[in-house]
Amino acid sequence: MLLIQLWKIFLENQSNKFRHLFFHAPMRLKSLLFLIIFSLASCGGGGGGGGGGGSNSGSSSSSSSSTSGVSSFTSSDASSYRTTEYNNQSGLETIEAAESYAYLALNSKTNAGAGVSIAILDTGVQINHNEISANYTSTGSYDFVNSDSNPSDDKGHGTAVASVAAGVKDGSGMHGVAYDSDIIAIKVLNSSGSGGSHSAVASGIDKAIIYGAKVINMSLGSLAGSTTLRNALISAKAADILSVAATGNETASQPEYPAYYASDSSLSGYVLAVGSVGTSTSSTTISTFSNYCGNAANYCLVAPGYEIYDASYSSSGVTNGYEKDSGTSMSTPMVAGAAAVIRGAWPFLTAAQTANILLSTATDLGTSGVDTIYGHGLLNLYAAVQAQGQNNFAYGSSVSSSGYDVRSSSLVSDPIFGDAFVLNVAPQLASAVFFDDYGRDYKAFMNERISTRSNSNIAASLTNLAFNNYYTQIIPLSFGKNSSTQLNFQVKSYEDKSAPNQFGLKFITTDRSREDKTLTSSNGFSFAQNFDNNFSSGLKAGFSVNRDELANLREDKFNNFGFISVNNFAANPFQSFVNNSITSSLNSTTQRNFNQLFVGTKFFDKKFALNFSQQTSYDSSSILSKIGNLQNRVSDLNLSYLPNDATKISVSFGKMNEFDNNILNSKAVGAFEAAGNATTSYLKISASKKIFGNFSVISSFAQGKTIVSGNNLGIFRNYSDIQSRSSSLGLVNEKILGGKVGIIYSQPLRVYSGKAEINVPVARDLEGNVTRYSSTVSLTPKGREQDFEIFYAKNLTLNWFVDPTIKFNLVAQKQPQNIKSAANAYLGFVNFGAKF
């Protein structure tokens, strides 16, 4: 590749030393190689240089993995930004500009540098060029060569540089990195690429300071610095301006000035040195002409600078000319534009913070870590606009107030809440934001971190049926004349791991959309001791694992009567919370196990029964583990009254204490957490009455009241009046059509009353004060599940089997899981059972 060799000329003028600076102008495809010598008054430095034919489209480096909690962004969102003019400027794809534009837009941020002025210290600009005119501002623009306010380009270098940094997006030609930024054109070089001293560049910096530039681009260079130039850069630092300078085009091991000042401890983080990557065979290899980062490596990075498509100057007034240029003059405005994009999106960021973001998010090239060739690596704008470090969901009035990390926050609600969280709560969280280590605000998308557990009552109840493939063995034992002992083993004999089923069912697939995972049910065991040598009377006590043995042992068979759509009539109303597993986050599944201690007795001629039980459940991520995180503890006192064979009444009082961020079996973690454990007190009444002939009416009613404390550090600041209810009413005929027939209507557990006060951060100001949004939301779902079921069961006589039975069930659910928009669910099945 041909290089333009520039040589240094020294000139002294009285007390000030003026240095002629050599400038590496880019070689244009339309021109011959030529030598440019010019003098500057401040910092010299490399502009564009080298050249070559052919177009290099550039290859996009792989973006760093996102550290943000944002879950809505996909790469397809960037496709709309890959327009013809975007694709013409291949360097944009290399720095992943399209992704950054889409990502910032998704976060409702200015995505192309609007509100930021970039000072281009160069040969001026062609003001009427299509890529310049709309973004050019006369305020602050100046010509230090001719000492007037018309910085017209008569060389073309400044026009090309300005278009790469902030070229207009207008549907034609190309556009710059920060295509909405303002261009302050400050002419410090003449038509031959020379003219001026270090003091001229220093004056240009001072002009940029006065007129509010946030970024200064210097695609120019000198082999030596000066006090005048350094002092001007220190003044820019004091004005919180980020100065970006080219390393030069001599294939040297050290950058030129002013880029070399990036190594000056007094200017650390306020001057960035920029080298060039791009060759005829690779878009991420150091360009053959580029100077290295050298001693400035800690504040140096590289950007595309090989055959960059940019605006070309026309002396005849053509406003839509374009060409390809190579040099660090082209890579430098890439970084300047990137800085403008970041400062436009978050105006409160300082120049030093902006520099640190660009450096720390650069894609590492060359030797691992910071090295003297590539510095921190390749500019990666997409990585730069993503959150760095924490995803802090601040609880207070300042961005510095601590809070939960959005990435570890989620809420998986139980069907008892139905669609309440999705419809009532989630929309209120849509504008919530979090803050990264730099205080940058991002949409938290907390509304997308709420989901409803998919586990219908039908599917849950199927686990109680014979085709659930459990092998049950009851072993009676005797330890004395007046007592008896019973062991009960329940072992799962089959699990279909190849089908996307639930609960390990062999033939029942409840959700074909699920991944290839089985939600495993645990084996069960129980021990019961009767102290009256008769399991139908006296005092009995025992314990069980994964079996509600107290309900199973009750001689009155006051259970579910053969229905599958309602809970066991003898169980506590929240028994399903003990049995069922629930995901503890959006992407993990846990295994729930529980144990039960129970004691019961009958009195008054066995017409009354008093039973007490305590159940404790645990969740574990391993199906082999029987001990895990404590989930809930249910204490239940049940009084049953059986005055005769035709009447049965059962009343239960109880309390359920929930742990591990559970609220009515809904898992709330991170910012969704409550301040303490939830406690639910409940009452359940079940009754059956034979009304005439073989017909019996059965009914059940349960109500609970839940108390949970709000979390002043999270989203839900207060909870109030959470009450839940379930009911059922059915009719059973014990002897009809040679078997048993039943029909029932039921409403599963549903929160019918409850409110929560939410409080979330939604914005911040320049001083770091957080704007918060608060509201009171209803926890009552809009949906109301209603179940209708008919069953028929009959004992058969078959020579090959012992006690064969056949059973038919038809179930219909309206608004299943208390979700109003849910489609009606229907289930019909036949069950055959027998002993062998």
The catalytic residues are 122, 157, 329
Residue 767 identity: E
Cβ(272)–Cβ(243) under 8 Å? Answer: yes
- Of the candidates 595, 603, 609, 472, the one whose C-alpha atom is nearest the C-alpha of residue 554 is 609
Cβ(614)–Cβ(633) under 8 Å? Answer: yes
What is the arrangement of strands in the sheet containing 403-405, beginning at the earlier edge strand? 403-405, 392-394, 433-435, 441-443
In the numeric block, the tokens 């990585």 are attached to 383
Q: What is the dihedral of CA 451, 457, 462, 463, to 10 degrees?
A: 60
Length of the chain: 836
SS3 assignment, position 394 = strand
409: alpha, beta or left? (left if phi > 0; alpha if psi -120 to 50): beta
Q: Give residues with Cβ within 8 angstroms of 377, minimum separation 6.
A: 301, 302, 362, 363, 364, 365, 366
Token pair belonging to 423: 């419809």
In the numeric block, the tokens 């009532």 are attached to 424
Chain Cα centroid distance, residue 92: 26
Q: Give residues with Cβ within 8 angstroms of 530, minimum separation 6.
A: 483, 484, 485, 486, 538, 539, 540
CA atoms within 13 A on the CB side of 809: 21
- Of the candidates 551, 552, 555, the one whose C-alpha atom is nearest the C-alpha of residue 538 is 555
Q: How many helices (H) and strands (E) does the chain have?
A: 12, 35
- Cα–Cα dist 241/385, whole Å: 19
Residue 399 identity: V
SS3 assignment, position 185 = strand
Provide the sign of the torsion angle of the four alpha carbons 242, 248, 254, 258, taken in this order: negative
Residue 823 identity: A
